[in-house]
A = this chain, B = another copy of it.
Amino acid sequence: MTYPPSLIQLIAALKKFPGVGKKSAERFAFKMLSWSEKDIKDFIKSIENVKSKLDFCSNCGALVETGSCPFCENMKRDTSLLCVVSSAKDIFSLEEVRLFNGVYHVLGALLSPLDHQFEEKLQLDHLIHRIKSLGVKEVILALDSTLEGDATALFIKSSLRDFDVRISRLALGLPLGSTLDFVDEGTLSRAFSGRSSF
């Protein structure tokens, strides 16, 4: 006995969410069936709202609500510091920390040949254009400490070798509150070799 066609369609749509496979999508769809008419209307309304009210800045890629970018059009931000992130979501995490007053650049992807994310996806021409026109002195690579993040960081570094900019990466080491016996080898070795005087 297979699911009714309309349910199969919804399950297929739900599988587009990151990390959601067949089983999760099925659970989501059945959960939705138990929602009230009002829940469903509210849900659809919130999707439509987000799509009509939010957009990405065509310059830096940050999430923009009212039409003017809170970073590109903010005269108080230091344009000599450019922080490169993979997704607009990362900007919110970094802004939470309140340590950075420069501007951002969203790549939109990380190098990942297996997922068909090649060099073209990063649009480094645009990054280089911004570095030149903003007079950037330091490019901070705030990328994931994964294989994809590392590959992307190395690729950007080599692409920028002819420019007079400092390139930095986020520190690698022990996460706060961790115990040595639970930290993986790779992290421990990076924390050890990157030790600082104390």
Alpha-carbon distance A95/B6, docked complex (angstroms): 19
Q: Is the interface of A mostly helix, strand, loop or mixed?
A: helix
Q: Contacts A37-B51, A47-B43; is A89 near B30 (CB within 8 Å)? A: yes
- Does A134 have its Cβ within 8 Å of any Cβ on chain B? no
Specify which of B13, B31, B40 is in contact with A17 (CB 8 Å cutoff): B31
Copy total for this chain: 2
Interface extent on A, as a size class?
35 or more
- Does A186 have its Cβ within 8 Å of any Cβ on chain B? no
Contact A16 B44 (CB under 8 A): no
Write out the residue numbers on chain B whose beta carbons fall within 8 Å of the beta carbon of A56. 33
Contact A92 B3 (CB under 8 A): yes
Specify which of B3, B10, B18, B49 is in contact with A47 (CB 8 Å cutoff): B10
Q: 7 closest A-B pairs (Cβ-Cβ)?
A: A1-B95, A4-B65, A6-B49, A10-B46, A9-B46, A30-B89, A6-B53
